[in-house]
Amino acid sequence: MLLALREEALCAMILIFLQIYYAVNKVKNSNALFPKIARIALCHVLLDGITVYTVNHLDIIPDPINRFLHILFYISGALFGMMLYQHILTLCGYYRSAARLKRVGYALLTAFTILLFFLPMKYVHGQYTNYSYSILTIIGYALFLFYCAASLIMLLYSYRKLDRRTRVVLVPILCVMMIAVITQAFFPELLMTGAVITLVILGLFISLDNPDIDYMEQALWDYTTGLKNRNSYERDMAQAKFVAQTKRQSPQIGFLVIDINNLKYINDHYGHQEGDRLISVSADILKNHLKSASSIYRIGGDEFLAVYSATSNAAVEAEMDAVMQACRNAKDFSLPLCLALGYQSGPLDNNVDELLKQADQNMYSCKARLKEEYPLPCCNE
């Protein structure tokens, strides 16, 4: 009994730590179900420890209290299984199915709860610890196992939709969970459900809902524009070069360098708020008109970079013309909106820096033409 209580205490501490971590860091989770599942898991683990104590002290714990605590324990386990399956459905993109499951799941849970209050509950004196084992226990295991199996089947069915990290973590954990539930059904004294549920929560946290992963992703995006930043560009280019070297290919790649004219002038004379608005509008123009670009990055204060893969020069030139026309149509600024553009394409090999350098030179040639077209103070940087 003491060993089981120590196990539940450790699991409870881990789950409490996760709750504190979420509260302190004010994590805005991508899937709102996860914090709820974690709280239900904590309740189940605490009830597991409490019922281990009460069932081993039947002489001092009144039977109604013992029975009521066991009912809460079984309900929390069934609720955890149902919400886990709902979480997996949402993760796989089946949002409508998840909503329907919520209604059906609560109906099943209500029926199970009614059975808990009316069916008899028996307590068995085991070799190492006492435990409850009756038709209610079997129904509870069956319901929990059903949700685990349904979650695993859904993950396998949607295997190709999920990213590698999700598949690698969740599929093995659910397999372990099913094995543990079946094992405990045949060997009730093992008392493993609390530990296995904690393992599932840790797996979800590490693979899907870890705030550190969210913060790392945020480091790859520019807050002002919603575009990828230089860190993201360097990562993407390293991956592209690695793939090209692995396949021993040199695919065609194109770089479009974009520079906002007069940003410093606008910041100095009209304020940084106006400068930020200019950056945001410029980014929107690029996102709306550079449709063929593989990715668009903000690589500096007034600099953007669009990367093209296997796109014809004619298609890129047409998009550049569309950007220039959109700039001319932007009339709500103190100065004309000027974006200098420079494009260069070539094979993806060790000469990428040369391609970028040539695209940069082409951009500066465009910048010089814009200075002549929009003199004082537009292009006097």
Q: Give ∠ CA 12-17-23 in degrees, rounded to 5.
A: 130
Residue recorded with tokens 């693979």: 207
Q: Alpha helix (H) ranges present in 290-330?
A: 313-329
- pLDDT over 70 at 238, yes or no: yes
List CB contacts of 240: < 8 A, sequence separation 6 or more. 253, 348
3 state DSSP class of 215: helix
From the list 202, 140, 149, 159, the residue with the least C-alpha distance to 179 is: 149
Query: What pLDDT is attached to residue 378?
Result: 44
Instruction: Compute the average pLDDT of residues 119-142.
Output: 83
Residue 259 pLDDT grade (very low, low, confident, very high; cuts 50, 70, 90): very high
Give the integer Cα–Cα distance in Å for 78 and 138.
12
Please check the confidence at residue 347 and state whether its pLDDT lies above 70: yes
Distance between CA 292 and CA 307 in Å, rounded? 9
Query: What span, in angstroms and rounded, lies between the C-alpha atoms of 77 and 86?
Result: 14
The Cα–Cα gap between 152 and 143 comes to: 14
Pairwise CA distance, residues 336 & 325, whole Å: 12
Average pLDDT over the chain, rounded to an integer: 82
pLDDT of residue 308: 93
352-374: average pLDDT: 88
Within 8 A by CB and 6+ apart from 320, the residues are: 256, 341, 343
For 155-173, the pLDDT digits (tens) are: 888 877 776 777 778 888 8
Whether 29 and 90 have beta carbons less than 8 Å apart is answered as: no
Report the distance separating Cα 360 and Cα 252, nearest Å: 18
Query: Angle between the 63-91 and 95-118 helix axes, to the nearest 10 degrees?
Result: 170
Asked if 92 and 122 count as a contact pair (C-beta separation under 8 A), the reply is no
Nearest-CA neighbor of 51 among 8, 84, 81?
8
Confidence of residue 30 (pLDDT cuts 50, 70, 90): very low
pLDDT in tens, 79-120: 998 888 888 887 777 767 777 777 787 888 888 888 888 888
State the pLDDT at residue 2.
Answer: 53
| Dist CA 96 CA 188 (whole Å) | 37
pLDDT at 129 over 50: yes
User: Rounded to whole angstroms, how far apart are CA atoms 146 and 181?
Assistant: 11
Question: pLDDT digits over 166-213, tens only?
Answer: 777 888 888 888 898 888 888 877 777 788 888 888 887 776 655 555
Residue 213 pLDDT: 57
pLDDT over 60 at 42, yes or no: yes
* Residues ≥6 apart with Cβ < 8 Å to 104: none
Q: Give percent above pLDDT 90 in the chain.
A: 19
Edge-first strand order for the sheet with 339-347 is: 228-229, 295-298, 303-309, 252-260, 339-347
Instruction: State the alpha helices, DSSP H only, in the chain.
Output: 2-25, 33-55, 63-91, 95-118, 135-157, 164-186, 193-207, 211-218, 230-247, 263-270, 272-289, 313-329, 352-373
Return the pLDDT at 26. 54
Query: Among 49-58, 174-183, 233-242, 339-348, which is the least confidently predicted range?
Result: 233-242
pTM: 0.56
Say how many C-beta atoms besides its own lie within 10 A of residue 159's C-beta. Answer: 12
Tell me, what's the pLDDT at 381? Answer: 44
| Domains along the sequence of the chain with CATH | 2-210 (1.20.1070), 219-373 (3.30.70.270)
- Looking at residue 289, its pLDDT comes to 94
pLDDT in tens, 299-334: 988 999 999 988 899 999 999 999 999 998 887 777
Which pLDDT score is estimated for 29? 45
Distance of alpha carbon 18 from alpha carbon 96, whole angstroms: 29
